[in-house]
Structure formats: C-alpha cells, structure tokens
Structure 1
Amino acid sequence: MDVSRIREDFPLLKQTMMGHPLIYMDNAATTLKPRCVIDAVTDYYTRLGANAHRGDYALSAQVDEAFESARARVAQFLNAKSSAQIVFTSGTSASLNQVASGYARKILKEGDVILSTVAEHASSILPFLRAAKETGARMEYIELDADGRVTLEHVQRSLHPRVRMIVLAQVSNVLGQVAPVADICRIAHAQGICVVVDGAQSTPHMRIDVQQMDCDFFAFSAHKLCGPTGVGVLYGKQELLEQCEPLYLGGGSNARFDVCGNLQLKEVPFRFESGTPPIEGVLGMRAAIDYLEEHSMEAIHAHELQLRSYIVDRMKQMDHVILYNENAQSGIITFNVKNIFAQDAASYFNANGIALRSGQHCAKLLVEFLQTSATLRASLYLYNTKEEADRFLDVLAQCTMERCLDIFF
C-alpha cells in the first residue's frame, strides 16, 4: 500500500497544527475525508439537489437511483443477503437506539437479561439499560480477561436461561480488543439469544461479512471510515427487522394512515427512514467505501497492525509510560504517562502538532477495570506513516510534568 500516495488524497493532511505539520491519530473518534468523498457530497449539491423518494420528475429519479444504488453498495460491502436489510440512520448511536427501542422492548419480559461488557461504548449500554428498565429486564456483564478481551469461555460462563440478548462491540473503542463475534453468535443462537454487534470500530479497518458472522443486528458510522458525519447504517436480519418498531414515524415511512390512527407502514427498510434522509451523506459514504476497497481492507488492517507493533515495541521501553492494551489486534493504542493527568499530556501532544484523544472515551464503566480515571488513546489509519510514528514516539519520550506545565505558563 502506497501511503505517501494515499496521503495526497486527504486535503487536511496538508494543514499544520500549533505550528507543526498535523499528525492525526484520533481516527477512532472520526477519520479525515479523501477528496473523492468531498467531491461526492459536493456533486449532490451542485448536480442533483432534489429529495429522495419524493418527486415525480427526472432529477428526483436520478437521486432515487443514486440513493438506492448506495444502499446496494453497502449491502455488498457487508455481504448482506439483500439491500432491504440495510437501513440508513444518523450513525451507530441511532442504529443501536433503534434496536433497543424497536426490538428489545418488544421481546424483553420481566426477569430477562441483556448481556454486555464494561468495555462497551455508552451507545451500546445506555439504550439497552433503558429498554431493560422499561420492561423489568436487567443488564449483566460478561467478565473480561486480564487484557480486557471478551473470550468465548467467559461468554459461555455468563449464559443462563434468562439471557435474551447479547450486545457488544466487535472491536472495543478503548482497548481495541477484537471479540470472537462469529463464535459468540453460534453459541448464542443455539440458545435462542439475539446478538447485536457494534461495528463502529471494526467496519473501517477489516473485512466485514455479516452472513459469516451470523449476527442479528450490526451497526456502524460512515464518519469513522472516511465518510461524512451524520450518516450510518443498521443491518438486520430480514425477519427481525420486520418485527422491529420504527423509532421515528413521519413522512416517507408510511404507505397510508387515516384520521382514526390506522397506519400502514412501508416495507423494510423504508419504514425506518422517516423524514428527508442525509442524501449527500449516503452518497459520500458510498464513495468512502469504494475508496477503502480500492486500497483493500486487508491491506489497511495489515498496515495498521504493522505500525502499531512498531510503536508499541518502542513504548514498552519507556519507563514513564503505562500501556493498557499491548496485545490488541487493532490500530488503537491506549496508554498514560506516569504522574501526568491524561488531558494535560494530550495538551502537550497538541502543542507538538499531534492530535489524539484523552478521557474516558464514552466507556465510563471501564474506569474500575483500568483503575484509572482517564487514558490517552492514539488510533491509527491508512494514512498514518512510520515518520509520524517516530515523531509521536519522540514527543512521548519528552513528555514530562515540567514540559506539560510549560505549555500553560
């Protein structure tokens, strides 16, 4: 993979930050956008502009064709059986809320259990906690191993007759650990348990095959895979989507209704897409998927792991660094600098032109497991280079309390 050529596609990488060339290592939060995605969004506004599934004129028909073609492209990207299994949402959070509100609340009864882990993002926990509270069900948490991984052994140990759902990330957003989701789905389905997968951190970085995985629902966001913000996808098995109540009702989702409240919804997936959709976002997402697959998901993942291994090997030699996920098989590196608050260290990196994340990363239940209130997270992508890794390591090596204080005073 020619990283130097890839970098030419990203206008933001030509910018500086705090007087230094920008080194962007916050890709788990959101990714930068290549020119082809920016052009796809601009093309909609300059060449098309009409609404989708609303007009009876030629321009609107062109939008319809482009919009539904993008849906088919997403289905192909995930290896879904049908484009009817692809629902466009505003992102992973909206997708998971749709499942929690529209499906979990329908199937859960008092005393039922939803299994999850303390490593999950708030969007995988809070909607299902609310569904549990409203139905008399409860959340239970699968034990993590010493590295923060979900293991098949721990999943099996957590299963019992009242478990109805398992909700977890394929790749955790703090520790970057990869869960054995296909095996989890296999043992869960043997007991009639529904499996919901948060794919926000996996879809941008590895090949996804929802049929091989055999998950019941799968969610991801476009902005984490070089696409626009404000758009994402919910994949669901057809029969489960048919049972799911739409989170929103309004224009576009219904076939007809009357003054008495009799309502006939449209077929799946359109019943879930009330209101004007993020058309430019959907078209930009398609361009992003085409771009990533042009460079190969396998090659992207291999590049990230190679760069991660190089960085982690050097970090392990630094006595002042605490590394929380040495063995993760993703581009996420979570760490702290001893005796320096994470946000202060992040400010020091910022002063040196390096963008990374600090805090709890929306996974507030993980604090006790990590035994720290906040961490730093560097997350890699296809445009990060060995030269950037060396610069990151040099700044990290020089990160002391005195130098962090110097940037404030």
Structure 2
Amino acid sequence: MTIIQQNNKKILRFYGLEAARFNKGGCIYLDSAATTLMMVNAKEAADRFLEYYSNVHTNAHNKAKISGICLEWAYQKVTEFLKCSETHEALFMGSGATAAINGFAQLMRFNFPSRRMVVISSMEHHSNDLPHRQNFSEAVFVPLSSKGKSAGGIDLDFLNNILEENQGRVAYVAVTGLSNVTGVRTPLQQICEIAHRHDTVVLVDGAQMVSRTRVDLTALGVDAFAFSGHKLYAPGSPGVLAIKKNLLEQLSPIYVGGGIVDDVTTSNYILSSKLRERHQPGTPNIYGAILLAYAMHSLIEYGMDYIEEHEQNLCDYARKLLTQIPEVTCYGCIDNSAGTNSGCITFNILDLPHELVGRILNDHYGIAVRNGCFCAHPYVRSLLQEELWELDADPENPDDINRIDSFKGMVRASFGVYTSKQDIDALAKAISIIVQNKTNFLNNYISSSIPLTSSVSEFNPLKLLSTGNSQYEI
C-alpha cells in the first residue's frame, strides 16, 4: 500500500468517512483550490454550539458568556494552528482572504502615508494584487525567476535590489505562499529576511498554503498572513488576518463601530485597551469562527505534516501521469524534481479550448475541475505567451480573434484531504480518452453556449433547500 493510500485511509478513519462526510456529492471533486468541501464533523460541532449562541460583548447572561468563551477559543485556535500564539493576533475579516487583504492594505495606507510604494510578486491572485494598486500610488512587480511554460518563482535578486533602492518608501511586500495557478511554492523565509533587512514588512496570501502545508509564521518571520476559512474545509467561515502584535500596535483602526471602544462622548472616543478588539467592530461571524476553529482543531489532531505529504504525493503523481500523455502541456513545473509544486496541476490539451475540456470532464466523466485564468491573469498570460504566439491567426479576422480568445486559459485540477490516487487515475484516463477522440468531442460541442447538462436549467434551489431533493444529478 502506497503512502497516499495509507494516508487517505487514515484520513477517512479519522473523520469517520465514507467520503460523503465531506459532501462530495457523487462527483470526483478536483476543484479544492477554488473552495474545499465542508468538513462535516466541523459543521456538526458548530451546530451543537448553536444551542448556546448569542451575541458577545456582555456577561449579563449565560448564552453571551458561553458565546464569548467559544469565540475566544476560536481566536486562540487560529494562532495555535499557525504556530504564532505569542507573536501574532488573529482578526476575523469578511468572508475570505480578499477582505483580509483589502483590510491590511487600507490599514497600511492609513497609518503609513509616507510609504506610497508596494512590491508585489508576478504570481499573485487578483485579491493580492488589486487592493495594493488601489491603495498605493506605485506598485512594482517582481519578475518571475523562470519563463515560458515553466514560469514561476520570484526573482530574489530583483526583490533585494528594488527594496534597497527604495528603502523607507515601501509599505510592504505582497506575495503568495503557494500559487493558486501552478502550486509553485514561495521561499517565504528568504523573502522575509530580505524585506526586514530593508525596513519593510511582508504580507502573505496564504489561501492556498494554509490547507496544504504546515505553517509556522513565527519561524518564517511573516508579518501578516491572510487566508479564507472556506478553503480550510469550513465554508461560511470568515476570512482571517494573522498579524504581528508589534505591527498591529502601531495601527489605528480603519473600521469603527460598536465593540472597539472603552468609552464614547460627543467630542471623543477611547479605543479598547484590548489590542484585537480595536480592529473587530460589530457583531462577529461567531458561528463561522467556531466552524473554522473546529476544522483547524481536527487538522491539528490529525497532523498537518501528514496532509502536506499526502497533497505533495498527489501533485507529484498527477504531474507524472499527465506529462506522459501526448498533446498535453503541464504548466509551472520549474524543474523536473518532485516537491516543487503542491495542491494543483494546470494543463491544456493541444487544439482544445480549456473551457471545452472542463465541460467534457464534467459531462462525460463526472470530474469537477476549473478552467480559465483563475483570477491571476498576468501570471497565466506569462505561462501561455509562447503557445498563443504560435497560433496561426489573422489579427484582422474576427473569427481568428475569437478562436485565440478561447485558448487564453487553462484547466486546473486541485486536491484536498479527500482526494485519492484513484481520483488522479480517473482524471488521467479521461484525458487520454479525450486526446484520442478530439474530433468527435469537437463535433459534439458545436458552440460554447450549450449547457453543461440538459437538466441544469431545471435546477430548483428552493426545492433543494426545503426538502433536500433537487431532482438533479451532479
């Protein structure tokens, strides 16, 4: 039995699975980079909490006291999971990493107005790119360390030079921990050392990293770390910003309201003496925080080292199988050694638009993948540039332009703790069949406007939510 099989069986036993305990819904779910499926035992734990649910910010009655204790436990579980209990505070912000990153950008702009430059890697999701451009007058992009179909990584020499030349002007450096496009890992410790040497801080988009690898913010030296609970097996939970206490102490809040003050008069207000509370106005998403914290508790109990090994092995195995299939191009493999990518694999099939491949995998093989540019247009464009240049097209011909547009993207298969080696085998087998029958598939899918399945248009949300029966097969 392989390590993948052993780990997967251990995971299934730990969660009491039947993979249905993750609500896989009958399909082979390879879209975990977009959102992970619900960890059902975490939902059950959060549902048990609802018996005691109340708003916090008072000790006048028992429900409020219990809710406050549980919410405090959730905050502590986040920093325990990220191994930064002594160094960082956790803030719950909005519905995902996007809100947390926007909040950080606004905090830094508001509190450090003389620092008008941000430095951003060229692999970023739009959520770790556009907020910085919107809030700062100058954004510098760090080039990739490799080019073409293997593009990925960060040019550390460029990073060092740009920070040295602009020391005192840079508000922060924004990088991903793990690319949502290719799974390329970022050398966070080296980046933090370079940034700190030049008097600036580092914000990490950890949305892909947090569910796939063991994270130790203290050891890495990361100043701020944003992630989404919905990508950590807890859909409906909040976004999180874990930020160094000594940095947060320097920041006046940008969002104000109830719960952040000790006193208010018509002429003044006094912020809370508690550091975290100054930046958490209003009623928090208490249920979502409990849901996320229990998911983290379960992952800690199981062991993130095992999960990291499981996901790494799946990624290496998928890359090995797909690169052996003729007419399939895989992206972002910086070198041929194992361990350089994790969590996902992106690919295209020669002469087949990426959207069509995704639809065929869904319609004919029950495999859920994602296609497009994954909200990372600059990075995807750099990966595809050579291929798009090679397309034989007349720039004056609208049909040729539309044909090129259909190839501006790729297909991504991404993994979770519930993904098995058998899921990867099914994907590779399906892709092999598609390659062998390209002409038939192209003839069967006449236009991009055809529905995924004939029954999708009849799907009734209210019937599903009211009765649990949608009369719809995934």
Q: Note whether the superposition's TM-score is higher than 0.5.
A: yes
**CA distance in structure 2 between the aligned counterparts of 1:342 and 1:12, rounded to whole angstroms:** 31
**CA distance in structure 2 between the aligned counterparts of 1:203 and 1:394, rounded to whole angstroms:** 30
Conservation of the 8 A alpha-carbon contact between 1:12 and 1:32: no
Q: Deviations over 1:304-342 (max 9, x none)?
A: 121222221121112221111235421210111121211
Does 2:307 correspond to 1:284? no
Determine which of 299, 319, 322 is the counterpart of 1:312.
319
**CA distance in structure 2 between the aligned counterparts of 1:405 and 1:31, rounded to whole angstroms:** 34
Conservation of the 8 A alpha-carbon contact between 2:23 and 2:37: no
**CA distance in structure 2 between the aligned counterparts of 1:208 and 1:376, rounded to whole angstroms:** 28
Determine which of 146, 168, 176 is the counterpart of 1:169.
176
Report the secondary structure of 2:144's partner residue: coil
Alignment of 1:9-408 (within 5 A): 10-11=19-20, 16=25, 21-45=26-50, 47-82=51-86, 85-90=89-94, 91-109=96-114, 112-133=116-137, 138-146=138-146, 147-162=151-166, 164=170, 165-327=172-334, 328-351=340-363, 352-370=365-383, 371=385, 373-399=408-434, 400=438, 402-403=440-441, 405-406=443-444, 408=450
Conservation of the 8 A alpha-carbon contact between 1:222 and 1:229: yes
Report the secondary structure of 1:33's partner residue: coil
**CA distance in structure 1 between the aligned counterparts of 2:421 and 2:210, rounded to whole angstroms:** 23
**CA distance in structure 2 between the aligned counterparts of 1:356 and 1:152, rounded to whole angstroms:** 33
Q: Deviations over 1:64-121 (max 9, x none)?
A: 11110111111111111448711111221111111100123422437x4211122101
Deviation (angstroms), 1:13: 5.5
Unaligned runs of 5+ in 1: none
Deviation (angstroms), 1:41: 2.4
Counterpart AA for 1:100? A
Counterpart AA for 2:371? S
Report the secondary structure of 2:140's partner residue: strand
Q: Deviations over 1:128-170 (max 9, x none)?
A: 111113xxxx001111022311143342243333251211111
Percent identity over the alignment is 28
TM-score, length-scaled by structure 2 = 0.79
Conservation of the 8 A alpha-carbon contact between 1:197 and 1:217: yes
Conservation of the 8 A alpha-carbon contact between 1:348 and 1:404: no
Report the secondary structure of 1:402's partner residue: helix
- Relative to 1, partners in 2 of residues 1:295 and 1:132: Cα closer, same or farther, differing over 3 Å? same
Aligned alpha-carbon RMSD (Å): 2.1
**CA distance in structure 1 between the aligned counterparts of 2:44 and 2:380, rounded to whole angstroms:** 41
Conservation of the 8 A alpha-carbon contact between 2:8 and 2:420: yes
Counterpart AA for 1:120? E
Conservation of the 8 A alpha-carbon contact between 1:118 and 1:366: yes
Structure 1 stretch 284-293 or stretch 153-162: which is displaced more? 153-162
Conservation of the 8 A alpha-carbon contact between 1:254 and 1:263: yes
TM-score, length-scaled by structure 1 = 0.91
Aligned length: 399
**CA distance in structure 1 between the aligned counterparts of 2:356 and 2:42, rounded to whole angstroms:** 34
Q: Deviations over 1:27-82 (max 9, x none)?
A: 1111112221110221122x112112245111111111111011111111111144
**CA distance in structure 2 between the aligned counterparts of 1:389 and 1:207, rounded to whole angstroms:** 23
Deviation (angstroms), 1:171: 0.8
Report the secondary structure of 1:85's partner residue: strand
**CA distance in structure 2 between the aligned counterparts of 1:9 and 1:70, rounded to whole angstroms:** 27
Deviation (angstroms), 1:9: 5.7
Unaligned runs of 5+ in 2: 1-5, 335-339, 389-407, 452-474
List structure 1 segments (4+ residues) > 4 angstroms apart after TM superposition.
12-16
**CA distance in structure 2 between the aligned counterparts of 1:6 and 1:278, rounded to whole angstroms:** 28
Report the secondary structure of 1:116's partner residue: strand
- Relative to 1, partners in 2 of residues 1:151 and 1:179: Cα closer, same or farther, differing over 3 Å? farther
- Relative to 1, partners in 2 of residues 1:316 and 1:161: Cα closer, same or farther, differing over 3 Å? same
**CA distance in structure 1 between the aligned counterparts of 2:429 and 2:227, rounded to whole angstroms:** 34
**CA distance in structure 1 between the aligned counterparts of 2:98 and 2:254, rounded to whole angstroms:** 12
| Structure number with bigger Rg | 2
Conservation of the 8 A alpha-carbon contact between 1:152 and 1:180: no
Deviation (angstroms), 1:247: 3.4
Conservation of the 8 A alpha-carbon contact between 1:104 and 1:128: no
